[in-house]
Chain A
């Protein structure tokens, strides 16, 4: 499949970090940043903690806590997985980083491995292009004798669930990339039963810059509760879709402006990709993209996918298509997900098709409450969140549809 065009847009070198530091080859990387600093494990954790670095894979978990959990877990030397699985089809930031800034990510891998006492690391790349770029970078580093922990590249299958942490751990061991149902999390027991750190490649890239520039630099942009920058993938009705870097706290409108603004009238923006929530437009144009403002709206950045829905597309129709995609993307291992998501997709499709059954919205809510938390991974939870957001955000549209009409009136 082809992802969105990866065209990093408009980030000035001095202010931000990741895009500017993604220089490609090792010589340029070393000239601009030098070799990764051999800090003490506790110093690396302290860096992440003081900076307030959080995971960029979607869950936003505090990185320092994750590093500490893995370091403290018994069961032998840890394993690090740099997660570039990027199962979300509309996301391109991980592929961007692996292709254009592999040395940043690989520096982060070495630092993280040091922090958790790992002796083995893997880069889990979404496709052959990213994988090859990382392999070439590793060859350069081997010649320069730069790394202390050996790194292996593993190519992901590109499926939606392949980026889930236990799926990544399975794939790295040559098994099918599907989540595990065991009660232990990967930080306790992952690759070869060892404590495993699964960290998104963007998080590791941030760590690589943090190690050189310090937490004060990192916190110099963003907001106190949500410092630093993030990578977003803009898509849908934007002039220049692609990967951009922005500080936390930038408004939604300003973020879209980096991508050239909207290409046509937009009714809502999907924040956080297919597991995300809708924000109506233009009333949410000024919302700062940071936790203190997004949380009360029930929203979060997730893995940074921002999709603009044009007004010519009915929100329920788009929602039904995404719900169908999510149902098909299930690993099909767990009953509630395997049966529940197709059921929800069917119901939403009927609603999108203007079926006048008044019980549809209630039935949709009933089924999504039945699948939440009942699976080996958060796939049903994410799908439930998305569908719930769809029917509540577009409630006007729901009322129209239940009366047999649609404000958009276009067959999609």
Chain B
């Protein structure tokens, strides 16, 4: 392969990896925003939902480019099997494997989301929880195997991404609408039958 082309793939692969992480962070934060059921910074609720979906799909597309270009780049030594099977790679198998794992989880989340009418609410929701695992795994992958991981600019990006997700999660855990919490956390109740005094 032409050295220039190989380099192009390499740089594209790295760049899309970082951008995908950023977009993925935005998607997770917006997902938490959807869960809150509130408007966000002037956006109506349905706007938050649409933005969450757009960010997720963009992140996924960039991820596809990230994986595709690295498959084509001879320097990366990425095999097709490494794209689906974690921890089997030749180059930095652990950190690469985390990337594969994150990708696997993400594919499951995206496919179930696109098909959620067919699979039903409970199945969709269960798989969707995997995003809370996929995001930190993706972050670790970037820090471990990313070529730019040691640069200052990337460390700033990683920090901002981490703070964003941590803040969103913390906010979600502490701020609960007491009215909504009552319904969603309530299990179907089994009130004991009893007669009413004065009548029976």
Contacts and interface: CB of A to CB of B under 8 A. Distances in A.
A89 B195 CA distance: 6
A330 B189 contact: yes
B190 interface: yes
A387 to B, nearest CB: 14
Contact of B200 (A236, A330, A335): A236
Nearest to B196: A321
Contacts of A270: 199
B42 interface: no
Nearest to B182: A338
Contacts of A275: none
Given A157-B190, A159-B190, A236-B200, 17 more contacts: A1-B192, A1-B193, A4-B200, A158-B192, A158-B193, A178-B188, A307-B199, A309-B198, A309-B199, A310-B198, A313-B199, A325-B194, A329-B193, A330-B191, A332-B188, A338-B183, A412-B198
A202 to B, nearest CB: 19
A160 interface: yes
Nearest to A314: B198
A313 B198 contact: yes
11 contacts: A89-B193, A160-B191, A160-B193, A176-B188, A309-B199, A325-B196, A332-B183, A332-B186, A332-B188, A332-B189, A335-B183
A338 B200 contact: no
Contacts of A173: none
B16 to A, nearest CB: 42
A158 B195 CA distance: 13
Interface in A396-412: 412
A328 B192 CA distance: 9
B197 interface: yes
Contacts of B195: 1, 89-90
Interface in A146-172: 157-160
A57 interface: no
Contact of A322 (B182, B186, B187, B196): B196
A392 interface: no
B198 to A, nearest CB: 4
Contacts of B192: 1, 158-159
Interface in A6-50: none
Nearest to B198: A313
A263 interface: no
Contacts of A157: 190
A321 B194 CA distance: 11
A235 B195 CA distance: 10
Contacts of B189: 328, 330-332
A331 B188 contact: yes
A329 B193 CA distance: 8
